[in-house]
Amino acid sequence: MGERIVYLNGQFLPEAEAKVSVFDRGFFWGDGVYDVARTVRHVPYKLREHVDRLYRSLRHVRIDPGMDADKMEAVSREVVERNRPHWKPHEDFRIVQHVTRGPQAYTSSGDFHTPRATVLVHCTEMGFPRLARGYREGLRLITPSIRQRPSQYLDPRVKSTSKMGHILAEMEARQAGEDVSALLLDLDGYVTEGISANFFLVERGALVTPPALEVLAGVTGQTVMDLARTLGIPAQQRPFAPYDVCAADEAFLTSTSYFVMPVSQLNGHRIGAAVPGPITGRLLKAWGDAIGLEIYDHGFNLYSFAGLSLTYLYFQFPLMVLIMAPALDGLKREWREASENLGATSQQYWRYIALPILLPSILGTMILLFGNAFGAYATAFALTGGSLNLVTIQIGAQMRGDVLHNPGLGYALAFGMVIVMAISIGLYTWLQRLSERWLR
């Protein structure tokens, strides 16, 4: 299929042939800006809004890309078309526009004169497996020691390629766990934004997000505000501290890649009772309905009905065969011979004689195996601190949380497992006895 295609300084090139000068100011000084859009079913989503934000950043830092916004949009769409054969039908991808001040003969940061800007447009993977885990379990965040760059230094609405602060903050977060991300505070200790993401909390049914002047103007964040208005969900922008986040009913991040990502913890404190929370779930559903995309439907989802069914059958089918073997052995050969003597076909024998006899055993076996699977699944859920909603038993509250830090949840799980297993064994015994009456 060949290499993916990029646009670089007026040419569409295979990735391996795209080369940038070692004296480029983007390489030497981080002197550039960028923006990232995405596709939905291979169609660019809100591309113009991202291009317009890119050009606001370019005007602020005084870089002339050598083309207007219409041309940049057209180039971006052409890159998407040229790379379409490289993506599977269920895959989507990011569309990245990257503009630096360009190459120069000198390496002084004070020399701003370059012959031209460097313009790069390319596509990258979305990384859906990691996103799927976040939708199920919610992201864990910490507030690192690295603070948000103050607006007196550089307006945060500029999407700059100088990301060292964000990189160090994310590295600090990773020390707390591979699935932990950073939530940046300003110099006064108020919440600003995540790494390439806007932050929202839900407080008494209303959305709250930091003031626009303190964070990057997120295209997705604005979409969330618009959806909230449509759904009748109050929304406001005001400062708030980590204390408010820990006391919130829900929290989530917004980004082009994942739209809305639930947040389950901040600095080890559990946020809310559910992942995603009711408001977050409504926003995800509204967004999915607006674009015709099921947010959990990227590729094969183990937590979908099909995924759980396949996993159940994979592990339980051999056990079912072992349990059913005695019942199959109990079918008397004389019954088969008698049916053949009466002129019955093999299909009629199984339909009118064998299956009615075996049916209670089959049903009883399935019930028993369900109880076994439920116990194993509930145990795994509890030990891993997952957040899949086990609606089968709800004792006092929904079955969500970490059993290691919530003994009541552990007791509820244990009690529920005993009840389910007792009911399963009782039904299995009753149905098995029905079968035995035929096998005597």
Any idea what DSSP says for residue 30?
-
Residues 6+ apart with CB under 8 A from 415: 395
Q: How many CB atoms lie within 10 A of CB 128?
A: 17
- Residue 119's SS3 state is strand
In angstroms, the first-to-last Cα distance of the chain is 66
Q: Do domains 5-125 and 133-291 have the same CATH topology?
A: no
Please give the CATH topology (third level) of the domain spanning 5-125. Answer: D-amino Acid Aminotransferase; Chain A, domain 1 (3.30.470)
Identify the bridge partners of residue 180 per DSSP, sorted by sequence position.
Answer: 140
CA dist., res. 247 & res. 269, Å (int): 9
Residue carrying structure tokens 């053949």: 340
**pTM (2 d.p.):** 0.68
**Counting runs of H as helices and runs of E as strands, what totals does the chain give?**
13, 15
Tokens at residue 78, please?
Answer: 């052409």
Q: What's the CATH code, domain 133-291? A: 3.20.10.10
Pair type for strands 139-142 and 5-8: unpaired
Gap between the Cα atoms of 247 and 270, Å rounded = 9
Rg (the chain; Cα; Å): 29
Say how many C-beta atoms besides its own lie within 10 A of residue 53's C-beta.
21
Three-class SS state of 180: strand
Q: Which helix (H) or strand (E) holds 252?
A: strand 250-255
Element housing 97 (H / E): strand 93-100
**Which sequence spans correspond to the domains of the chain?**
5-125, 133-291, 305-439
Show Cβ contacts of residue 176 under 8 Å, excluding neighbours closer than 6 positions.
140, 142
Q: Report residue 158 as tokens.
A: 């500029």
pLDDT at 327: 64
SS3 label, residue 34: strand
- Write down the pLDDT at residue 152: 87
Residue 106: its pLDDT value, please?
66
Residue with the two structure tokens 């990502």: 261
Tens digit of pLDDT at every position of the chain (440 positions): 678 999 999 999 999 999 999 999 999 889 999 999 999 888 999 999 999 999 999 999 999 999 999 999 999 999 999 999 888 777 889 999 999 999 987 666 566 778 899 999 999 988 665 666 777 788 999 999 999 988 888 888 999 999 999 999 999 999 998 889 999 999 999 999 999 899 999 999 999 999 988 888 899 999 999 999 999 999 999 999 999 999 999 999 999 988 899 999 999 999 988 788 889 988 988 888 888 776 655 444 444 555 556 655 666 666 666 666 666 666 666 666 777 777 778 778 777 777 777 777 777 677 666 666 666 655 555 544 444 444 333 333 333 344 334 445 555 555 665 676 677 667 767 766 665 665 55
Q: Is 30 left (phi over 0), alpha (psi -120 to 50) or beta?
A: left
Q: Which pair of structure tokens corresponds to residue 277?
A: 């929370």
Distances (CA, A) of 13 to 7, 10, 16, 34, 94: 6, 10, 8, 20, 18
* CB neighbour list of residue 120: distance below 8 Å, 6 or more residues apart: 6, 7, 8, 9, 18, 20, 96, 97, 98, 99
